[in-house]
Amino acid sequence: MNKIAKYINQHIIGNVFDSPSILEKYSTDRSALKITPRMVAIPENTSDVRRIVRFVNQLSKKSVHLPISVRGSGLDKTGADLGTGLVLSTEHLNKILEIDDHSRLVRVQAGVTLGQLNSALALYGLTVPVLADPRETIGGLISNFTTDAGAGKYNGIYYYVDCLEAIVSTGDAIQTNRYNRRHLTKKLDLTSYEGEIYREIDQLIEDKSELIAELGGRNTVDAAGYQMITQVVRDPVRSFDLLPLFYAAQGTLGVITEVILHCSVLQPSVRHFVAAFESISSAESYIQEIMPLMPEELNLYDARMFKTSADHGKDPALFAPKFNKGYFVWAGFDDKPRHINKKLKKCLKLLPQNAAAVTETDDNTTDFQRFYSAIVSYLNNDVSGERTPICDDFYVPSEHLSNFLTDLRDLEKTYGQELPVFGSFSTSNYSVRPDIQLNTVEGRQFVLKFINDFDSLLREHSGSITGGAPEGRLKAVVAEKHFTDEEVALYTKIKNIFDPEEIFAPDIKLGATTNATVRHLRASYLNDVIS
């Protein structure tokens, strides 16, 4: 064991590892990248995190750089939880510390998963209504700020977090809160590093007020950079809260250790509805008519996905073989049973003559499960390579979607493969999974060329490749080129305020290079299921 790992182990309850087999496990996530860290730290509590960060900060002041990458469940699709230095995993910070069912509040460690949390809350008739992978950690949901399919109705994770605790680069813990100007003054007067952060962010907002207002007024949704600086000061009461800065920060400002969330009442049931359309225009028109019914989720799928799945034995059952082209609309309703029945009847009544639809019943629930199973099959059945998430979670405004899909057909011809789109119409957040041969030089060259071409196409239609999730490492090479010099200076200043020694993931979000990204592209396939 190397000296640094041994020294840290002597001062924490958790463990630091540097054995090759463990490093290999933490060298990949869900992205197209592979980066082997120097060591992996698995702290057992907040004190461990503070000691690790403080020690790494001390090393950096002696010109010994050991950058920290924060990892939750390892499901990141941009490579933000990978690094060449120390990967700090929150997997053991997985305790639900307190549930106040009367106030509908819950306090958790950042490594608690969404599934674990909602299972515990269900005992109290509560839930955090985020339709993300249940394996995602709460800290990861904040750091990656991916727009989930239920955000159209429930506003996403941003709406449910009250405050958090984070360990910043000095090893100090800060707790976010919403302060009025009188209480903010007390924070500004602190002589600690926390006070310094508050003073500098407050001054930055004042100095860059015009730029921040311009960022906040943009129509295009974009999670790149630190654009949540626009939400730190909230009108009309002019409250001040550092919490928004940690959304989409991807571990670059500190390590989130604890979170307090408020919850919603758990709905008694969820039923689904699927309709098939021969064209995107008819699907869009129908979606606009049923959106006022407030579905829990409202998704759009290119039917070609299911044709591919059927070729591999995963027939979606609900419509095949009649519809092997066109689009499927999937809606879920989570109201009281009587209200769900009314909404499903309304969906059928609004259906045009040239479409077909099925509503979920006790008798066909298995068919609806097979529908989702067919999606997983498509994502993991390849023609010659791997459907890697290099262009997941992009944003296209609904008024541009039809033209975007038309122009996407030209890109399909360019690359010689089908590129069916799937995602949430209610949030305008979609994904495309090209088939990539990562085990060849040509396949790895394909990745960055495709990302650049796809990004250009999105921009032509007022979209953003980072509209539904931040850039991390993989998308950073195209995201940063759209920043103005003023924006780069603003985001760099935010990073320096929180992390002057650049110990937290210094090579993601800002300063990404094509050469570095290419160097870290995987040359082999993941062994587990990609979803």
The domains of the chain, with CATH numbers, are 1-266+471-508 (3.30.465.10), 268-381 (3.30.70.3450)
Round to whole Å and give the CA distance between 11 and 411: 55
The CA distances from residue 88 to 38, 42, 434, in Å, are 11, 6, 31
Round to whole Å and give the CA distance between 322 and 456: 35
Instruction: Answer whether residue 218 shows pLDDT above 80.
Output: yes
- Distance from CA of residue 208 to its chain's centroid? 28
pTM: 0.95
User: pLDDT-based confidence at 320, cuts 50/70/90?
Assistant: low
Instruction: Answer whether residue 119 shows pLDDT above 80.
Output: yes
Q: Identify the pLDDT of residue 220.
A: 78
338 Cβ neighbours under 8 A, 6+ residues apart: none
pLDDT 10s digits, 439-477: 898 998 999 999 999 999 999 999 999 999 999 999 998
Nearest to 39 by CA among 54, 24, 29: 24
Place of tokens 């469940």: 73
DSSP at 426: T
Q: Check: CB of residue 199 under 8 Å from CB of residue 186.
A: no
Q: 3-state class of 317 per DSSP?
A: coil
DSSP at 77: S
Nearest to 137 by CA among 104, 93, 102: 93
Q: Are strands 386-387 and 435-436 parallel, antiparallel or unpaired?
A: antiparallel
User: pLDDT-based confidence at 384, cuts 50/70/90?
Assistant: low
The CA distances from residue 69 to 36, 250, 508, in Å, are 12, 9, 10
Upstream peptide bond of 321 is cis (omega within 30 degrees of 0): yes
Round to whole Å and give the CA distance between 501 and 193: 14
Q: Identify the pLDDT of residue 434.
A: 94
Q: Identify the pLDDT of residue 376.
A: 85
pLDDT 10s digits, 274-312: 999 999 999 999 999 999 999 999 999 999 988 877 777
Q: Residue 11: CA atoms inside 13 Å, Cβ hemisphere, count?
A: 16
Beta bridge partners of 233: 240
Mean pLDDT of 226-231: 96
Q: Check: CB of residue 112 under 8 Å from CB of residue 138.
A: yes
Q: Residue 153: CA atoms inside 13 Å, Cβ hemisphere, count?
A: 22
pLDDT 10s digits, 407-443: 999 999 999 999 999 999 999 999 999 999 888 989 9
DSSP labels for 226-241? TGGGGGSEETTTTEE-
pLDDT 10s digits, 147-175: 999 999 999 999 999 999 999 999 999 99
Q: Identify the pLDDT of residue 307.
A: 80
User: pLDDT-based confidence at 318, cuts 50/70/90?
Assistant: low
pLDDT 10s digits, 39-88: 999 999 999 999 999 999 999 999 999 999 999 999 999 999 999 999 99
DSSP at 322: S
Query: Please, what sign has the CA dihedral across residues 348, 353, 354, 356?
Result: positive
Element (H, E) at 331: strand 327-333
Instruction: Answer whether residue 319 shows pLDDT above 90.
Output: no
367 Cβ neighbours under 8 A, 6+ residues apart: 317, 318, 358
Instruction: Answer whether residue 323 shows pLDDT above 60.
Output: no
102 Cβ neighbours under 8 A, 6+ residues apart: none
**Phi-psi domain of 99 (left: phi exceeds 0; alpha: psi -120 through 50; beta: other):** beta
CA dihedral 4, 8, 10, 14 (to 10 degrees): -140
Mean pLDDT over all residues of the chain? Answer: 93
User: pLDDT-based confidence at 141, cuts 50/70/90?
Assistant: very high
Angle at 434 (CA atoms; ends 399, 431), nearest 5 degrees = 35
Upstream peptide bond of 236 is cis (omega within 30 degrees of 0): yes
10 Cβ neighbours under 8 A, 6+ residues apart: none
Round to whole Å and give the CA distance between 225 and 248: 8
Round to whole Å and give the CA distance between 231 and 145: 14
The first and second tokens of residue 267, run together, are 């709905």
